[in-house]
Chains A and B, each alone.
Chain A
Amino acid sequence: MSSIRHPKITFWRTVVAIIFLAGAYAAYARFALGFEQSTHLADSQPWGLWVGLGTLCGVGISAGGFALAAAVYLLGFERYRPVIRAAVLLSFLGYLSVIVGMMYELGLPWRIWHPIVMWNRRSVLFEVSWCVMLYTTVLSLEFSPSLVEKIPWVRVRDLYLKWHHQILIGLVLIGAILSSLHQSFLGGLYLLAKGKVDPLWYSSYLPTLFYLSAVPAGISATIMAVYLCNRSLNARVDPRLLSEMSQIIAPMLYVYALLRGVDVVTHGGAGYLFRWREETLLFWFEIALFVIAPVILLSQSKVRNNPNTLYGTCALVVMGFMANRLNVSITAFQASSGFYYVPKWTEFALTLATVTAAGVAFHYAVKYLEILPRSVPAKNWMTTHPATA
């Protein structure tokens, strides 16, 4: 090629560039100026948006990978195989973004390795950190064939893929258990804050509730991702497959709602359900978004079978899920701390930039690797003879 091709300036590229610029400044503020200049965190709200949105939502929305991997490889739902790679990739990038988030969330990020050698088995956070480390390793192994099959050296490639095939079932099984453990333990973190967490959210069943809400959110996010790939990356996944996949969401939300309802009442939240206060309003906002609206919408085949409305409904589930995590981590602490935490714009900017980076990586992975069946074959990157695993 003699001429250099300049990238075209498009709307989305501009948006992404602005987000990255804002994120770069926020990162500068965090690392060169400190927490005080880059966040509105305080002693009475030591965990804010970075934990609530970055970590809790990041991990939760990444639950699709283990759920679909278990469904396809362990339970034999072969028909979901076309989306399995997309689900695993989404989870992998989700966990990577959570780990990147840790780098600015922790006060001393260069010590992020400490939990490997310094153990406290009584700490829920210790268990979470180990599960996240191990599961990210599992995800990278689950995802690895997408990259390895592009290696031009056939021998190495085949050797790796053969080995991978042998350990895959074990990986999926370990991954499902690790995920289940730390998805619930993220809720378990808040058990210790009894007396600080509002009765509408505190419960000794927080671990179970976190787990039961993460799975439908993860599946919804996977449906959204595949829909977007169908729409703008020439992916050709049968929309009926997505519609079928969405049928599991409503039953999961029913179970969640039932447990949550019983739980709120038995844990002393009943008296707060209909009080005129911000927490109660946000509670109902969360319930409406996460449970009521999706359950009604998903019960109609008209909504499920139209890819656009299905996408919108899944977006509601994901947003409702995010509302729940932000409520647990921020809203629920307001009354007890007497501190009204509103995140600083730099907190939003850094989280948004991290998520956007994951989105951009997802985009290019789908474009250049064999992640989803596509009408336009993947660009011949590295090798012209990609193996299929």
Chain B
Amino acid sequence: MARSKAILIDITKCIGCLSCEAACKQLHGFAQDPEPKLSTTAFTIVEQHGDRFVRRMCMNCQDPACASACLVGALKKMELGPVTYDSSKCIGCRYCLVACPFNVPRYQWAKLVPFVTKCDMCYARQAKGEQPACVEACPVQASIVGWRDEILEEAQKRILTDSKYVKRIYGSEEVGGTSVFYISDIPFEQLGFASLQSQPMPVLTANALGDIPTVVMVGGGLLAGLYWITNRRKLVALAEAEESAAESRTGKDPHHV
């Protein structure tokens, strides 16, 4: 598999200037007013927790719950890392919103032809070799982008060499790993990060889906077997009835029923 890209967000470096948010809005043609939460017109936002700033965006999971949920495959994990959304496939079921462990996708509730919206790590730009708009706009390199393995190495180096960091890279293990990593000097729980399983989310449904052949074969076989017995009983009863009828006709035993 080709190498994939990832973003590292260093919470200790973010100064809360909102340049990333502005660049994202500009790229997508949204109005330039800062928003407190992710929305259909804000694919990345900066939250303030005490004197720390935490930038939120789609985590672009390695094995995304949304992509496994989407019945028509509109959401897709690309080899390059981003999780993209093909609006031409979407039927508007919103299962991706239910599935996402990070509560990232947003729905255009106010529109008559509503679509799902979310950050796709600027897939189009990255495919051309450019950086995501938010990363490019960061004046202090609080967000950096690179090959996923190298970015992970860089994060590892920072948390090991500088004692101020919490010894944890958020996103390296959560739900099987993501394409966006966070490092911080404050425990992640205090910054509103969810504690998640290390298992990829789709594993939860894969087991159930794996049972389909068993259900079909065992259930089908069982029902077919039961029908065979039922039918056989019917046939035997019918044959017996005919036999006794024939006997009564030949007058051998007219009183036998």
- Listed in ascending order, the chain A residues whose CB lies under 8 Å from chain B are 31-36, 39, 41-44, 46-47, 70, 73-76, 106-109, 111-112, 114-115, 118-127, 129, 169, 173, 176-177, 180-181, 184-185, 188-196, 204, 207
Contact = CB atoms under 8 A, between A and B. Distances in A.
B204 A192 contact: yes
A169 B89 CA distance: 37
Given A76-B233, A122-B202, A173 B220 contact: yes
Contact of B230 (A34, A75, A109, A122): A75
Given A106-B93, A107-B91, A107-B114, A46 B220 contact: no
B106 to A, nearest CB: 5
Given A108-B90, A192-B65, A194-B204, A34 B110 contact: yes
Contact of B227 (A109, A169, A192, A193): A169
Contacts, number: 163
B97 interface: yes
Contacts of B17: none
Nearest to B65: A192
A180 B98 contact: no
Given A192-B201, A193-B99, A195-B194, A115 B72 contact: yes
B109 A126 contact: no
B94 A180 contact: no
Contacts of B106: 43
Interface string B58-95: 00000001011111111000000000000001111111
Interface stretch (B6-14, B151-159, B205-213, B248-256): B205-213
B223 interface: yes
A120 B227 contact: no
A173 B224 contact: yes
28 contacts: A34-B112, A46-B94, A46-B97, A76-B229, A76-B233, A108-B90, A120-B70, A122-B206, A123-B70, A124-B208, A125-B70, A126-B72, A127-B212, A129-B71, A173-B220, A181-B212, A189-B95, A191-B204, A192-B99, A192-B202, A193-B99, A194-B201, A194-B204, A195-B194, A196-B98, A196-B101, A204-B204, A207-B208
Contact of B98 (A33, A121, A193): A193
A123 B91 CA distance: 14
Interface of B: 65, 67-74, 89-95, 97-99, 101, 103, 105-107, 109-115, 194, 196-197, 201-202, 204-209, 212, 215-216, 219-220, 223-224, 226-227, 229-230, 233-234
Nearest to A111: B91
B72 A114 contact: yes
Contacts of B74: 118
Contact of B72 (A76, A118, A177, A191): A118
A43 B69 CA distance: 16
A76 B91 CA distance: 42
Contacts of B226: 74-75
Nearest to B220: A177
A114 B91 contact: yes
A176 B223 contact: yes
Given A111-B91, A192-B201, A123 B71 contact: yes
B219 to A, nearest CB: 5
> Which 5 pairs, one residue from A and one from B, show the smallest C-beta to C-beta distance?
A107-B92, A76-B230, A46-B97, A126-B71, A118-B72
Interface of A is mostly: helix
Contacts of A107: 90-94, 107, 113-115
Contacts of B67: 122
B209 to A, nearest CB: 7
Contacts of A39: 109
A124 B205 contact: yes
Contact of B114 (A34, A73, A173): A34
A119 B73 CA distance: 7
A34 B111 CA distance: 6
A185 B65 CA distance: 16
Contacts of B98: 46-47, 189-190, 192-193, 196
B117 to A, nearest CB: 10
Contacts of B111: 34
